[in-house]
Amino acid sequence: MNYTFFMLPLSIVDKAEHASDGDGNFVNFKGTKIYRLRVIGTIAAMEINEESGSGYIILDDTFSTILVHFQRPMFGLFKEVNKGTIVEVLGTIDVYNESTTLELNNIKKTSLERYAYNQLESIKNEAELSK
């Protein structure tokens, strides 16, 4: 089953083992395969390379950070965001240099209130998954 997790801290991704199957890359946390992840955090770093047609951001959700990479068709989504912007990211689990990363599916600016709500729900959801 293809799971997308909402409001889950990146520390879950840090603790989980990564693997792949016929559905794609995933992280396995306590028997749950997570293929996609929606995370709210702050852009800690950002680079768009027009020459290579690729880019990345480092997303910080206060629990941990993750590399989110993307290709040229996604460049337009970055017109209104920069370092320090609070964003909501939807990404597919990927592996790069033996580290779990996200391949960007969508990104949008969000509010500080949504960020705070996400942090509280993330803690609650992590506690539920840790049982």
Structural domain contains residue 129: no
Question: Mean pLDDT for each 10-residue chunk of the chain (131 residues)?
Answer: 69 84 87 88 95 95 93 89 94 88 94 89 78 70
Structural domain contains residue 126: no
pLDDT of residue 49: 94
What angle (nearest 5°) sits at the alpha carbon of residue 10, between those of residues 47 and 117?
100
Structural domain contains residue 36: yes
How many CB atoms neighbour CB 3 within 10 A? 13
pTM as predicted: 0.87
- Could you give the C-alpha distances from 32 to 3, 17, 45, 81, in angstroms and in order? 8, 11, 30, 32
Structural domain contains residue 63: yes
> Given phi > 0 = left and psi -120 to 50 = alpha, else beta, which region is 84?
left
Structural domain contains residue 60: yes
Structural domain contains residue 131: no
Q: Residue 83 is part of a domain; what is its CATH number?
A: 2.40.50.140
The total number of structural domains in the chain stands at 1
